[in-house]
Copies of this chain bind each other. A is one copy, B any other.
Amino acid sequence: MMKKISVAEATLNGNERKYVLDCLDSTWISSSGKYITEFEAAFAKYCDVKHAISTNNGTTALHLALVGLDLKPGDEVIVPTVTYIATANAVRYCGATPVLVDCVPGTLNICPDSVEKAITSKTKGIIPVHLYGHPANVPAINHIAAKHGLWVLEDAAEAHGAEINGIKVGALSDCATFSFFGNKIITTGEGGMITTNNDQLAERMKLYRSQGMDPNRRYWFPVVGYNYRMTNIQAAIGLAQFENIEEAIAKRDQIKARYKENLARLSSDILFADETPGYRSVCWMFNIFLSKGFAYERDRVRDALETAGIETRPVFHPMHTLPPYKEERTFKVADEWCQRGINLPTHLMLTEQQIDFVCKTLVEATR
Q: Could you tell me which A residues sit within 8 Å of B by CB distance?
A: 9-12, 16-17, 20-21, 24, 27-32, 56-60, 84-86, 89, 92, 95, 181-183, 187-190, 211-212, 218-227, 229, 231-234, 237, 313-314, 316-317, 322-324
Given A12-B29, A189-B31, A231-B234: A316 touches B219 (CB 8 Å cut-off):
yes
B59→A227 contact, CB < 8 A: yes
Do A27 and B56 contact each other (CB < 8 Å), given the known contacts A86-B227, A211-B86, A221-B322? no
Closest-by-CB residue of B relative to A60 is B227
- The answer on a CB contact under 8 Å between A317 and B227 is no
Q: How far is the CB of A312 from chain B (nearest CB, A)?
A: 9
Residues of B within 8 A of A212 (CB): 85, 324
Q: How far is the CA of A56 from the CA of B190 in the complex (A)?
A: 9
What is the minimal beta-carbon distance from A358 to any residue of chain B, in angstroms? Answer: 18
Quick check: A189 and B24 within 8 Å, CB to CB? Answer: no
Contact flag A322-B220 (CB < 8 Å), given A12-B24, A29-B12: yes
- Taken together as a complex, chains A and B put the C-alpha atoms of A190 and B317 apart, in Å, by 33
Inter-chain contact B10/A187, CB cutoff 8 Å: no
The answer to whether A221 and B323 have CB atoms under 8 Å apart is yes
Contact of A218 among B28, B181, B314 (CB under 8 A): B314
B182 near A30 (CB under 8 angstroms)? yes
Decide: B30 and A12 in contact? CB cutoff 8 A. no
Closest CB of chain B to A44's CB: distance in Å? Answer: 22
Chain B residues whose C-beta falls within 8 Å of the C-beta of A218 in the assembled complex: 313-314
- Report the separation of the CA atoms of residues A223 and B11 in the bound assembly, to the nearest whole angstrom: 32
Distance between Cα atoms of A84 and B314 in the complex (Å): 43
* A and B contact pairs by CB, cutoff 8 A, 28 listed: A9-B27, A10-B28, A10-B30, A12-B29, A20-B20, A28-B182, A29-B182, A29-B187, A29-B188, A29-B189, A30-B182, A30-B190, A31-B182, A31-B189, A85-B224, A89-B225, A89-B226, A92-B224, A189-B232, A189-B233, A190-B227, A190-B231, A219-B314, A220-B322, A221-B322, A222-B323, A223-B324, A233-B233
Docked-complex contact B31 and A12, CB < 8 angstroms: no
A224 and B182 contacting across the interface, CB-CB below 8 Å: no
The contact of A17 among B24, B32, B225, by CB within 8 Å, is: B24
Q: Which residues of B contact A27 (CB under 8 A)?
A: 9-12
Q: In the assembled complex, which residues on chain B have CB atoms less than 8 Å from the CB atom of A183?
A: 30
| Chain B residues within an 8 Å CB radius of A86 | 211, 227
The smallest beta-carbon distance between A26 and chain B, in angstroms, is 10
Residues in B neighbouring A188, C-beta threshold 8 A: 29
